[in-house]
C-alpha cells in the first residue's frame, strides 16, 4: 500500500464570514406575470424574491436572458 497522507495538510478549517443583508428591489407582486401565478406564489407565503430571483426575473420578463 501507499503512504498515508493526512488530509488535514491540505484542508483548512472553514472560517465564517458575515454576509451582507440583501434588500430586494422587487416583490413578487411587482412582476408582470399572470395573476394566477401571483396568487399561487403569495399563497405559498412568498412575498420577496431571493437575491438571484430579484435580479433575474425582470431580465427574463424582458426576454434579455
pLDDT band at 62 (very low <50, low <70, confident <90, very high): very high
Domain borders along the chain are 22-65
- State the Cα–Cα distance between residues 5 and 3, nearest whole angstrom: 6
* pLDDT at residue 65, rounded to an integer: 56
Contact (CB, 8 A) for 14 and 38: no
In this structure, the dihedral spanned by the alpha carbons of residues 24, 65, 40 and 52, taken in order and rounded to 10 degrees, is -30
Alpha helices in 1-65 (DSSP H): 35-43, 51-61
Express each pLDDT in 13-32 by its tens digit. 888 888 889 999 999 999 99
* pLDDT at residue 2, rounded to an integer: 85
* Proportion of the chain above pLDDT 70, given as a percent: 95
Amino acid at each position: 500500500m501507499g503512504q498515508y497522507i493526512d488530509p488535514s495538510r491540505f484542508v483548512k478549517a472553514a472560517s465564517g464570514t458575515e454576509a451582507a443583508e440583501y434588500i430586494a428591489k422587487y416583490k413578487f407582486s411587482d412582476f408582470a406575470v399572470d395573476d394566477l401565478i401571483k396568487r399561487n406564489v403569495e399563497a405559498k407565503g412568498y412575498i420577496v424574491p431571493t437575491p438571484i430571483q430579484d435580479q433575474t426575473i425582470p431580465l427574463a420578463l424582458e426576454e434579455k436572458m
